[in-house]
Structure 1
Amino acid sequence: MTAARPDPAPELEARLRAALSAPARPSSDYDLNPGTVLPEGRKLRPAAVLVGVIGPEQAPELVLTKRSSRLEHHPGQIAFPGGKQDPGDDGPTGTALREAREEIGLPPALVRVLGHLPPHETVTGFTVTPVVARITGPFAPVPEAGEVAEVFRVPLLHVLDPARFRIEGRRWRGQRRQYYAVPFGPYYIWGATARILRGLADRMAT
């Protein structure tokens, strides 16, 4: 009788926890645009996203969404499950878990939080806390109607390889802005999502 193979997930979790515990500065959509002058006294709204890792050590994947093309803000873009913090949320972790349940039908009981990445400031006036977590079991994604067009997965190793990231640019509000992009197949992952992933990739590479 063949003995059951041990779950290798603890090794992956240990690497992620170690990466998250390292000191680092906050990131922002302005990191590649050092000439940007930000208004003094600006007020940022708190938000959080779930950086959810699912699958075994040999083939871990990252859960992402494609936003509905009918949305007013960021239509059709690739994003983590997440959103702005509500008054009743238990901090960033509570926000990330609530939004993941609402947007993709992920039960909070299947989420084991490993830690947080530094807050990320967006050009839309949010300070986003990325909550990195292990999704501990299979689930059938249920995209939130009108908000999420698709729920999909990307190999974690793809977005943890700094060499797969590139710097691109486009005009925004009359100025050319540079940003990170890490495309995967038909999915163009860019902007804040790619910047957060680049931060995690740099931490895992050290």
Structure 2
Amino acid sequence: MAQSDLKSRLQEALARPGRPSTDFDLNKDITAPAGRTLRAAGVLIGISPETENVFLTMRSAALKHHPGQIAFPGGKQDAGDPTTTAAALREAEEEIGLPRHQVEVLGVMPGHETVTGFLMTPVIGLIHGEFTPVPEAGEVAEVFQVPLSHVSNPAHFAVQSRRWQGHMRNYYTVPFGPYYIWGATGRILRAFADRMHP
């Protein structure tokens, strides 16, 4: 697929109506705490137009929160970040060594609320030029790529469940090879897939 065609498809997907998502979407018996204050964060759905692959990370097993889980590059918006998009680009540079100038930001999707109190803004961007990931020691165990065709196809997703804080929690999964993609990452990718294939 030509780069211009891919860019057009992504822009069309971003232009379609969407709604915010949450970790509670599939769990009507689990409610978000009343009066909660959400912390702003940005995550990058970075796509190589040459390979049409999406870059994902596996978090270090030594981390206190979500060890070993699959995640997008990104993180909370700091005081020096003017926007959540800026936060996503800064974190991607820190976590996987992706220079900000190589990312062409196409737009953002509605925010995703996590059970851990973040409102994550998914930023869609094309990664131009040669890029060799450099995982941040201590935080990122691995950087890998998944075909866009895999994570943008709703048919590749399934709903599974596990016990969480005394409740059975349902969540989207979109496994790829040895990688078990689930949780907030799986939910955001499902929202992305719904936009790509309305």
| TM-score of Structure 1 vs Structure 2, range by shorter chain | over 0.9
Please say if residues 46 and 127 of structure 2, whose CA atoms lie closer than 8 Å, have aligned partners that are also in contact. Answer: yes
Residues 84-110 of structure 1: CA deviation (Å, up to 9, x unaligned): 100110201100110000000000110
Structure 1 segments, 4+ long, off by >4 Å, are none
Superposed CA deviations along residues 108-161 of structure 1, whole A, max 9, x for unmatched, are 110000000110000000000000000011211110010000000001100011
1:168 CA displacement: 0.3
1:172 equivalenced with 2:164 (yes/no): yes
> 1:36, CA displacement in angstroms?
1.9
Equivalent position to 2:10, from 1, 13, 16:
16
Q: Which residue of 2 aligns with 1:191?
A: 183
Task: Compute the RMSD of aligned alpha carbons.
Answer: 1.0
TM-score by length of 1: 0.94
Secondary structure at 1:30's aligned position in 2?
Answer: coil
8 Å CA contact 2:32–2:115 kept in 1: the answer is no
* Cα distance in 1 between the residues matched to 2:196 and 2:22: 19
SS of alignment partner, residue 67 of structure 2: coil
Q: More displaced, 185-194 or 14-23?
A: 14-23
Distance 1:163 1:55 in 2: 23
Letter in structure 2 aligned against 1:82:
G
What is the identity, as a one-letter code, of the residue corresponding to 1:147?
A: E
Larger radius of gyration: 1
Residue 123 (str. 1) matches residue 129 (str. 2)? no
* Cα distance in 1 between the residues matched to 2:86 and 2:60: 24
Structure 2 stretches of 5 or more lacking a match? none
Query: Could you tell me which amino acid in structure 1 is paired with residue 150 of structure 2?
Result: H
TM-score (structure 2 length as normaliser)? 0.97
Q: Of 48, 57, 62, which aligns to 1:65? A: 57
Output aligned runs, 1:82-97, within 5 Å.
82-97=74-89
CA distance in 1, matches of 2:55, 2:32: 32
Give the Cα separation in 2 of the matches to 1:195 and 1:13. Answer: 23
1:157 to 132, 140, 149: 149
Cα-to-partner distance string for 1:4-52 (whole Å, 9 max, x where unaligned)? xxx8111111111111112211001011012222222110000010000
Between 1:36-45 and 1:143-152, the stretch displaced more is 36-45
> Equivalent of 1:50, from 18, 29, 44?
44
Aligned to 1:3: none
* Identical columns (%): 61
